[in-house]
Structure 1
Amino acid sequence: MNNPFLPATRRAVVGGLAVAGAAALAPALAKATSPAIRPFKVAIPQADIVAMKRRIAATRWADAEPVSDDTQGVRRRTLEPLMAYWAGAYDWRKVEARLNALPMFVTEIDGLDIQFIHVRSRHDNAIPMILTHGWPGSILEFLKVIDPLTNPTAHGGEAKDAFHLVIPSIPGFGFSAKPTVPGWGSDHIGRAWSQLMLRLGYERYVSQGGDCGSVISQRMALQKVRGLIGIHLNMPAVVPAEIAHILAAGDPAPATLSAKERGAFDQLEAFYRDNSAYAAMMNTRPQTIGYSLVDSPVGMAAWMYEKISQWTYSGGDPLKVLTRDEILDDFSLYWLTATGASAARIYWEDHSNNFNARGVIDLPVAVTVFPGEIFRAPKTWAQRCYTDLFYFSEASNGGHFAAWEQPRVFAEEVRAAFRPLR
């Protein structure tokens, strides 16, 4: 089979100034040239929230699927009640207040304003760490791990395991500016993250990520950006080239694979066959799908809910590991910032498989494989990509959105992973 991954209206308060309109925002931010770090607060106008809820309530629904399972996609009986709650009792102001209770900032890098959370630990030995989200996630994925990582003694950990945290929104996502020219792929973002950490005064730091964040962290390591001393990944891109070509061709698994390698092969084969159409679309036509993602809140929600249901370690029911509000907070963030299209463009920029090895990394690398990940990377494949694989763990719980789903397990894994680098 063909592998689609192989190469082939926001308003916020920035520095105390109200900035209105997604279309007007990007040019304004592109003019910024100062390396200054400015305070940032979220301030979504009530009219925008009312308009969002009105559009949800006015949805013209597709007919219910003529099958009794999800083989045709998200079932109407699953989505409709969630959308009714979104249009009704759901309250965006709760998560907005939670964000605004955190120290948030914005700074211009290479012509774009980058929004980020920056929480310093009170512990003297804290190590700086940049945490990067993915798609269809956001900075909201990390809210539940901020205190356990910055203040470990309050969560069963030790002071020696503390971190200073920097949690940026990827360009085109959330409250960061939207690129108006090509070139903001993971290599560029990785270099920008290094600039951000150095600008904050961190000349020795680590990087952590899953999904797009994993790719960005790996590109940082491949580029050996200044200050980076190690990375931790919860979705490592380690599929060997020969395995990637076999999967792309639709050929059978090699008989020489170990049991864990064969398990990973089978997972990837099923993913490409049954669940990768979304990525093929965003890899090749993010603008085409982007019109729907920006115009229809329910269409956007269905597009994203399918992946959240498949990628959480929940048996297809994400409400077993996330609350309704947590899921809708994420959807609302995308909708209210009108970033459905701009976020999808990172797939086009990278235009590659987020699972495939892109080179050998000799920087220290730590890996945690969560049981609900899209594919469970075997240690043997990781060892081929990372010459200094100093930590490899298979967690007991959690999926693709590890920090969001299982914050305690995630925090424990990150603490253990980076202990040798302190």
Structure 2
Amino acid sequence: MSEITPYTLDVPQRDLDDLAARLDRVRWPDEPPGSGWERGVPRARMKELVDHWRTGFDWRAQEARINKFPQFTTEIDGADVHFFHVRSPEPDALPLIVTHGWPSASADFLDMLGPLTDPRAHGGDPADAFHVVVPSLPGFTLSGPTRDTGWNVARIARAWAELMDRLGYRRYGVQGGDWGWPVSLGLAGIAQDRVVGVHTNYLPSPPGDTEGLTQDDLERLARQKEYVSAPAGYWVMQSTRPQTIAYSLADSPAGQLAWIADRVTAWTDPAIGVDDDRLLTTVTLYWLTGTAGSSSRLHHEAAGSRGGLPACPVPLGVAVSPHDLVRPVRRLAEAYHDVVHWTEFDRGGHLPALEVPELLTADVRAFFRLVR
């Protein structure tokens, strides 16, 4: 089946009433005196977030914000794939597929859709326009729980190639961060004749000769080694026991909130952070779609994969945020990939679409000017 169906997000009121009732009955754990973030999300912060979710957060306003942009669903390889598809008014716009990560959602990119598709209306150059496709990863939020196993990075990349074919795009750009990084490189590998370039806002350094590297380069490599050798608790749990943690997250909205808020807080620039309403929009999407478990399975599938990613077979653009999980070393990246564009942001972390959308938008435009 290759039918593409228009989609409008319209959550039944009974689901929102159920969420409110559960938030009214949160069973709070104890907390050692003087505890801070070193043990996880502090109870005071959780109570603040839960109270806002219950009494101040307007889901219907966020739903309307999401529905301002054209959305569709289609079945690919047995999975129901949701995606935004916003066409530019500019006739020569370049198609661009953008991939989110975890614990993110396609809605993270809403602030970028207007500037990317219609730069003329946002003070930019119409020559930088894109037709933008932002799918939800299979098993994540609006792409619903997947119905089978095996949804690893390679399978998602094949699904994205099929999606762009169905939309009639024969030449396009690719962008992504977090899981969007390996998916984007994988897509370029299987659709090399169609992908004009890949832009990523996350890129681990490949192995290589370290002689002559700067002190900053060596510190970047040390941080990457530390991150890989001692992964965060969420990664260990989701890559080894995704079904076990899924019961807690699917049954408790406070649990789902804490699981995501912990990572968002740790991964963002402390001077910027993420607005609570943006955070709660993401959490609510995971909660309402019941995708805590199916989104976790991607970590499990990745842990069982063999081999690393090949070199990017098309021109690569890299944006580096100062507060990201790891920061790549340019010389090592250039020895492995065809890097034609490199930007070091002066602010931001692992979620630039939410933290610094204007910087990410400008950098995507700058890179694709080189390869259109």
Q: Which residue of 2 aligns with 1:367?
A: 318
1:417 pairs with 358, 363, 367, which one? 367
| C-alpha contact 1:139 1:169 (8 A) present in aligned 2 | yes
Letter in 2 for 1:280: V
Among 333, 352, 356, which residue is 1:382 paired with?
333
| Counterpart pick for 1:265 among 221, 224, 228 | 221
1:319-334 → structure 2 map (5 Å cutoff) = 320-334=272-286
* Structure 1 vs Structure 2 CA RMSD: 2.0
Query: Do the aligned partners of residues 66 and 271 (structure 1) sit closer, same or farther apart at CA in structure 2, a change above 3 Å counting?
Result: farther
How do 1:144-163 and structure 2 match up within 5 A? 144-163=111-130
Report the Cα offset of residue 256 of structure 1.
6.4
Tell me the secondary structure at the aligned position of residue 117 of structure 1. strand
- Which of these residues, 394, 400, 409, is aligned with residue 344 of structure 2? 394
* Corresponding residue for residue 230 of structure 1: 197
Shift of 1:357: 5.5
In 2, the alpha carbon distance for the partners of 1:39 and 1:157 equals: 29
Write the distance in 2 (CA, Å) between the matches of 1:130 and 1:149.
Answer: 12
Give, in angstroms, the shift of residue 69 of structure 1: 2.4
Aligned to 2:37, the other structure's residue is in SS state coil
Identify the residue that residue 347 of structure 1 maps to in structure 2: 299
Q: Structure 2: which 5+ runs fail to align?
A: none
Question: In structure 2, what is the Cα distance between the partners aligned to 1:328 and 1:338?
Answer: 15
The one-letter code of the counterpart of 1:392 is W
Q: CA deviation at 1:68?
A: 3.9
Deviation at 1:231, TM superposition (A): 0.6
SS at match of 2:221: helix
Deviation digits for residues 76-110 of structure 1, max 9, x if unmatched?
11111111111122111111111222111111111
- Note the 1:272-287 alignment, pairs <5 A: 272=228, 276-287=232-243
Contact 1:311/1:373 (8 A) holds in 2: yes
* SS of 1:42 mapped into structure 2: coil
Q: Deviations over 1:319-342 (max 9, x none)?
A: x44221111011000000000010
Aligned to 2:137: 170
Cα distance in 1, alignment partners of residues 206 and 13 from structure 2? 46
For each residue in 1:107-156, what CA deviation from the matched residue of structure 2 results, as whole angstroms up to 9, or x when unmatched?
11112221100000111221000011110010111000000111112223
Alignment of 1:337 onto 2:289: yes
> Which has the larger displacement, 80-89 or 176-185?
176-185
Partner of 2:24: 57
**Match of 1:299?**
255
The Cα shift of 1:280 comes to: 1.1
The 2-side partners of 1:80 and 1:393 are apart by 39
Task: Compute the displacement of 1:272 (Å).
Answer: 4.9
Q: Is the 8 A contact 1:286 1:345 kept in 2?
A: yes
Q: 1:265 to 1:352 in 2, by over 3 A?
A: farther
Q: Deviations over 1:42-97 (max 9, x none)?
A: 11111101111211221111112334421111111111111111112211111111
Per-residue CA deviation, residues 201-243 of structure 1 (Å, 9 max, x unaligned), is 1100011000011110011123345522211010013332x79
Q: 1:249-269: per-residue Cα shift (whole Å, max 9, x none)?
A: xxxxx8865323222123234
Give the residue type in structure 1 aligned to 2:359.
V
> Are the aligned partners of 1:133 and 1:139 in contact in 2 as well (CA < 8 Å)?
yes
What percentage of residue pairs aligned between the two structures are identical? 38
Aligned to 2:98: 131
Hey, what's the Cα distance between the residues in 2 that align with 1:158 and 1:281? 45
Does the CA-based 8 Å contact 2:192-2:314 persist in structure 1? no
Contact 2:99 2:134 in 1 (8 A): yes
Verify the 8 A CA contact 1:238 1:385 in the aligned structure 2: no
Structure-to-structure mapping, 1:205-216, within 5 angstroms: 205-216=172-183
Please point out which of 90, 95, 100 is paired with 2:57: 90
Superposed displacement of residue 372, structure 1:
1.5
8 Å contact 1:357–1:385 — kept in the other structure?
no
- Cα distance, 1:352–1:407 mapped onto 2, change above 3 Å: farther
Deviation at 1:307, TM superposition (A): 0.7
Q: Which residue identity does 2:357 align to in structure 1?
A: P
Task: Quote the Cα distance in structure 1 between the aligned partners of 2:283 and 2:90.
Answer: 35
The one-letter code of the counterpart of 1:349 is: E
In the alignment, the residues of structure 2 paired with residue 71 and residue 211 of structure 1 have an alpha-carbon distance, to the nearest angstrom, of 24
Instruction: Provide the C-alpha distance between the structure 1 equivalents of 2:96 and 2:275, rounded to a whole number of angstroms.
Output: 27
Cα deviation, residue 393, structure 1? 1.1
In the aligned structure 1, how far is the partner of 2:203 from the partner of 2:139? 23
Q: Distance in 2 between matches of 1:269 and 1:59?
A: 39
Q: Secondary structure of the equivalent of 1:409?
A: helix
CA offset digits 1:346-371 (Å, max 9, x no partner): 11111179xx9522223111111111
Structure 1 SS opposite 2:235? helix
AA aligned to 2:162 is Q
Task: Name the amino acid aligned to 1:183.
Answer: G
**Secondary structure of 1:421 counterpart:** coil
In the aligned structure 2, how far is the partner of 1:171 from the partner of 1:370? 27
How many residues get paired?
371
What is the aligned partner in structure 2 of residue 289 from structure 1? 245
